[in-house]
A and B are shown apart, each in its own frame.
Chain A
Amino acid sequence: MDANTPGTSIVRHALATRLWHWVNAVSVVILLGSGLGISNAHPRLYWGRYGANFDHAWAQLPRFPAWITIPANYNLAISRRWHLLFALVFAFGLLGYMIVSLINRHFARKLALRRADVSPAHLAADVRDHFNLRFHDADDPAAYNSLQKWSYILVLFVALPMMIATGLALSPGMDAAWPWLLDLFGGRQSARSLHFVTATLVGAFIVVHVALVILAGAGNELRSMITGKWKVPEA
């Protein structure tokens, strides 16, 4: 029986990938929850270097309810404690994962784009496959499909680093040492807006990611991210 036969159990995810996935999942959920708590302290977003109550806000955010914030009851100091501690777990976790993924060739094997991944016809076919709940290539079921690759690449190499860089730009201490952070984003309040917008995109990714995990078979997918073992599904 070859490794692509439906029903075969294969090792889908390396230990480093699995470890980082869960450390990161916990960190990101805590960062989003505590971040919404911090947002409640001043739920207005601005562009530029400054921005306060008398200045024009491009967005007035809702007050985020207790069930989604950390802590549940508004407490800016404690939200910041959670946010800043897990910002370190998140940032250094991502750094470690990236280093290991270069060394163990996880990126090269799983995420490197091939000709098909940039072909419009193939991408269109991949979208159709997703609507038909076909997520795996029968010839190489363990490989990520094109949309999956693109979304992981955008999240890993654009959105998550963007969260770290815009977050650092909010630190008055970092701004003194690395003023280019401000130039990069067009000022601290722009960085704050981009921090929020990118966090929203990360939140949207999580929703789609969890939905697709459920559609692809929650049990099999969850097991593969815990033990590594993944059963090749029926095509």
Chain B
Amino acid sequence: MILPRRSLLTAGAGLLLAGCDKVAAIPQARKILFAGEDMHRGLQRALLDRGALAPEFTREQMSPIFRANGTRDPGTPAYAAMVADQFSSYRLAVDGLVDRPLSLSLDQLAAMPARSQITRHDCVEGWSAIGQWQGPMLGTVLQAAGVRRSARYVVFTCADLYNGQPYYESIDTVDAFHPQTILALKMNGARLTVPHGAPVRLRVERQLGYKHAKYVTGITAVASLAAIGKGKGGYWEDNVDYDWYAGI
């Protein structure tokens, strides 16, 4: 009787690993598995200060090379035309649950009070890079548009395409009004380059890299994410099961 018990002991771990994939295929189990995100979000938001600032760094602490990730060039004719005219035809649309829908040029965005921050970018894959970002606070833009109290989320629409559709991401209005949430126009002191999301990239410090939408062309205030994409709030969330919260 000892032998089967021994093999049971060592095979237990192997069976557990193999069984996980079977379990994850059961809809009810999948629901529990995916609820971990809600638990982390609930715990972090209940226990921690939602206004806490992400750590900021000095120039000496910056990455020598900040790697670009995701789309490195949207490559569409419309985007190429904007690059060709140095984004003078670029307009940022601000709409949805706002009193005054806006269409802002790059000059108008650059004329707004800007915040500069040296922060760490954490990719969901595990790497980090520290860089300097500068641009108006998203809160300033939303206030200029007269965002309504009924708005609970802010959705970003981008110039780069995934599966033929514009990339999109979303954050809630609390994070949207966080002082470090900015529409970066500059990186490391120079205008954003194409690989890093020119001309406008969202910086939402305290969340993972895929939330930092590049090539932002539209900002829409909404009451619910249900009608956005497949309803989970972002391209990766809808198509690859990434978590919307992305704070851990």
Contacts and interface: CB of A to CB of B under 8 A. Distances in A.
A41 B126 contact: yes
B21 A71 contact: yes
Interface in B61-83: 61-67
Contacts of B37: 81, 84
Contact of A78 (B35, B61, B241): B241
Given A30-B20, A50-B129, A80 B40 contact: no
Contact of A218 (B5, B205, B207): B5
A189 B128 contact: yes
Given A29-B17, A179-B55, A173 B33 contact: no
Contacts of B17: 29-30, 33, 67-70, 72
A213 interface: yes
Interface stretch (A6-14, A52-60, A95-103, A146-154): A52-60
A172 interface: yes
Given A50-B130, A52-B63, A81 B16 contact: no
Contacts, number: 171
A213 B9 CA distance: 9
Contacts of A71: 20-21, 24
Interface stretch (B117-125, B137-145, B161-169): B117-125
Given A49-B120, A85-B32, A218 B2 contact: yes
Interface in B3-18: 5-6, 8-10, 13-14, 16-18
B149 to A, nearest CB: 25
Contacts of A50: 61-63, 120, 128-130
Contacts of A49: 57, 61, 120, 128, 130
A219 B126 CA distance: 42
Q: How large is the interface on B (under 10, 10 to 19, 20 to 34, 35 or more residues)?
A: 35 or more
Nearest to B66: A52
A85 B248 contact: no
Given A49-B57, A50-B120, A188-B120, A173 B207 contact: yes
Residue among B32, B126, B127, B243 with max Cβ neighbours from chain A (10 Å): B126
A35 B67 CA distance: 24
A173 B20 contact: no
Given A71-B24, A80-B243, A173-B248, A52 B128 contact: yes
Contact of B21 (A70, A80, A88, A219): A70
B122 A72 contact: no
A85 B48 contact: no
B44 interface: yes
B65 A177 contact: no
B38 to A, nearest CB: 10
Given A76-B124, A176-B206, A81 B54 contact: no
A185 to B, nearest CB: 13
Contacts of A80: 124, 242-243
A77 B129 contact: no
A17 B206 CA distance: 37
Contacts of A174: 44, 48, 247-248
Given A172-B247, A210-B10, A177 B52 contact: yes
B48 A177 contact: yes
Contacts of B248: 84, 170-174
Given A80-B124, A170-B248, A189-B127, 12 more contacts: A29-B17, A38-B126, A50-B63, A50-B130, A52-B129, A54-B64, A88-B39, A171-B44, A172-B247, A173-B207, A188-B128, A214-B6
Interface of B: 1-2, 5-6, 8-10, 13-14, 16-18, 20-21, 24, 32-37, 39-40, 43-44, 47-49, 52-55, 57, 61-67, 120, 122-130, 205-208, 236, 240-243, 247-248
16 contacts: A49-B130, A50-B120, A52-B129, A54-B67, A76-B124, A77-B236, A81-B243, A85-B33, A88-B36, A173-B207, A173-B247, A174-B247, A175-B120, A177-B48, A178-B48, A219-B5
Interface of A: 26, 29-30, 33, 38-39, 41-42, 44, 46, 49-55, 67-72, 75-78, 80-82, 84-88, 170-179, 182, 188-189, 192, 206, 210, 213-214, 217-219, 222
For the complex of A and B, 9 pairs with smallest distance between CB atoms: A85-B36, A173-B247, A177-B48, A171-B248, A52-B127, A77-B241, A42-B126, A54-B65, A41-B125
